[in-house]
Amino acid sequence: MKIGYVRVSTTEQNTIRQELIMKELGVDEIYIDRMSGKNANRPQLKAMLEYVRRGDTVIVAEISRFARNTKDLLELIEALNCKGVEFVSKKEAIDTTTPTGKFMLTVFGAVAELEREYILQRQREGIAAAKSSGKYKGRKPGVYKDFEAVIRRWRSGEITAVFAMKTLGMSKSTFYRHVRATEKTTKG
């Protein structure tokens, strides 16, 4: 079977271009992720890796849609190889069944990683420039209704920390960061 993998970085981006490529290549099944490729922790990528079988071919429009760093790319390709699955990237014309294809894959993987690093660097520079001109203040702190009352109930043992987090709609790290901040202000 030909298995297609499609990825866009955000939910606002569309997948039409990549899906058309998959249709042209006669792909039987398509897996689509709408999230960053900064790591391999993507639900549809995982599902696709579980689904593929010996003799299948995984097809992507371009390597950067599959992985954004060389380490992840090589690990994903190794996982496919262990299952007897081939990998094809349309844009880069890479076929991992040949030594040249494997070499080119490594080169293009490094280029994709470099591209991601450039994106992050430009983003940091843009934020720094906006901060220096007073246009960027960062994300506004969350407002948590009844925070003090919920914390009092938690400290008294009336509710668990997990229940307090759910009630406030906070992650674990945010919850404990706010708890520490309130302890500092009450002691100071």
Task: Indicate which residues carry an active-site annotation.
Answer: 9
Tokens (6 digits) for 116: 């991601």
Tokens (6 digits) for 15: 């997948």
**Closest residue by Cα to residue 106 from 136, 82, 83, 74:** 74
Answer whether 82's CB lies under 8 Å from 42's CB.
no
Rg (C-alpha) for the chain, rounded Å, is 23
Cα–Cα dist 46/31, whole Å: 10
Q: How many CB atoms are located within 10 Å of the residue 181 CB?
A: 10
